[in-house]
Structure 1
Amino acid sequence: MKIKKAFILLNGSEPSVFPNLSEYDIVCAIDGAYNHFEKNNIFPDLVTGDFDSINTIPNTVEVVNTPDQNYTDFDKALLILKERGYFHIDVYGGSGKEHDHFLGNISTAIQWKNTLKITFFDDFGTYFFIEKSFEINNIKNRTISLIPLPTATNISTKGLKYALKNEDLMFGERIGTRNKASENTVEISFETGNLLIYISNK
C-alpha cells in the first residue's frame, strides 16, 4: 500500500528552498503560513488553523477553521491529516521567529511520535524523534545531535565520532549535541524515553 505523504508549512521562518511539492499527496498551510504561499503564488490543498495570523482566508482551496484554543494549530492539523490517512508528515517552518512556537511544535511532535512519522526541515538541518532502533545512511562528516526529552536511557551508537555505549542522557544534565558522523552509516539504539535527532544539512 502506498504511504500517503503530507507537507505542512507552519508559521515560523519560511524555508529559502521548498521541496518538490508535487511529490506530496497533500500540501497544507497552517494559519499565517498561508501568507507565504499567497505571496509566492503557491496554492496549497488545505488551509487550517484558528486564523488569528492569516492575512486573507482563501476561497479557492479547502479551508478548515479549528478555533479550539485548548490545542495548537499544528496539533489540530495533525489530527485532521491522521483522520484522512496521512501518517508521513514533512514539516517546514517549524522553527525560527518566536521560540515558544518552536518549543510547542517539539512538544506536539512528542505526543504524536508513536502514531505519525513527523520530520522537521529548515535551512540548517533536519530533526525528528527516532524509534528505539535507528539507522541512517549517506551522512558522513555531518553534524548529529542527540537530544533527550527529557530522558533517554541505555543509548548505544555506531558510526559517530564520539560513541555512546549503554549510556543515559537527560535534558538539563547531559545531552549529546554537536557529534559528528565518522562513517557513512550511523546506527543508534536506546531503551526508554524520547530521543530527538538533529542532522545538519552539510
Structure 2
Amino acid sequence: MKALISTGGQGPDFEKVKDIFTHVNLVVAADSGLNRLVEWGIEPDFLVGDGDSIDTENVATKKYSYNPAPRDKDFSDTELAIIKCLEKGADEIILIGGGEGRLDHTLSNVGMVKKYAQISLWMTSKEIITILSPGNFITHHLPQTQLSIFPLDDHSGPVKTRGLVWELEHIDLNQSMSLSNRCVDSEINWEITQGRFLLLATYE
C-alpha cells in the first residue's frame, strides 16, 4: 500500500504533486503539514503530532482521526506520521514538505529516510529527492536538471553512471560526493553495487 505524508516546512506546488494523490491509498498529515492539505482542498485520513503549529480553524473543522501527542515526546511529528503509515500497512511512503526550514528538522528528516526504507520519494519546495537502491536502472529528468548524489548508508557504492555531464565511473561516494552535477539528456543509467543514495534533483 502506498501512503503520502504531508509534513511541516516548505513543500512543492500543488501542480507538481496533484497526480500523486490519485495513486496513494493513505494520506497522513504531520502537524502543520495539515495546513498545506487544507489549502489544496485535500482531507487527510489521519492527523498526527502535538498540534503546536496547526492553524486552529483547520482542526476545528476536522473530519479525520486525530489524537494529539504530548509536546514532550520521544518521536518527531514526521516520525509519528511514518509510524502511523506503517501501522496501517504501508509498504511505500512519499514525503512532501520539510524544506527551507530549521536545519535540525531537515537533518531529522534525512535520518527518517535512512531509518525507514519504505520512504521512496521526498519532495520539498526546491528538490525532488529520490532514494536509489543497489541495482541497474534508469531515472528520468528534464535535460540539464541539476543533480547531487549523497550516500545514505555507511557502506554505499561504488557507483557508475551514463547520462551525467560529469560521469561517475565506479566512484565510491563514501569518500566524495557528486555535487551540482547535471543530466545531459532525459535519462540517466545507474549501476550501484551496494548501499542506498539520496539523489537530489533541484528545480525552481
TM-score by length of structure 2 reads: 0.82
SS in 1 for 2:108: helix
Equivalent-residue separation in structure 1 for 2:123 and 2:49 (angstroms)? 21
More strand by share: 1
- Name 2:89's counterpart in structure 1: 85
2:3 equivalent among 6, 24, 44: 6
Q: Does 1:148 align with 2:145?
A: no
Q: CA RMSD in A?
A: 2.4
The answer to whether the 8 Å contact 1:110/1:129 transfers is no
- Name 2:138's counterpart in structure 1: 135
More helix by share: 2
Cα 1:138–1:196 shift into 2, 3 Å: closer
Tell me which moved more, 189-198 or 100-109. Answer: 189-198
The answer to whether the 8 Å contact 1:151/1:168 transfers is no
The answer to whether the 8 Å contact 1:151/1:169 transfers is no
In structure 1, runs of 5+ residues without a counterpart are none
Cα 1:138–1:175 shift into 2, 3 Å: closer
1:190 equivalent among 189, 192, 197: 192
- Name 1:35's counterpart in structure 2: 35
Equivalent-residue separation in structure 1 for 2:159 and 2:22 (angstroms)? 38
Equivalent-residue separation in structure 2 for 1:17 and 1:73 (angstroms)? 22
- Match for 2:6: what amino acid? L
Q: Write out aligned runs for 1:28-67 (5 A).
A: 28-38=28-38, 41-56=41-56, 57-58=59-60, 59-67=62-70
Q: Write out aligned runs for 1:48-127 (5 A).
A: 48-56=48-56, 57-58=59-60, 59-67=62-70, 69-113=73-117, 116-127=118-129
Q: Deviations over 1:171-194 (max 9, x none)?
A: xx5210111112332122233344
Equivalent-residue separation in structure 2 for 1:121 and 1:97 (angstroms)? 14
TM-score by length of structure 1 reads: 0.83
In structure 2, runs of 5+ residues without a counterpart are none
Q: List, as ranges, runs of 4+ consecutive aligned residues in structure 1 with deviation greater than 6 Å.
A: none
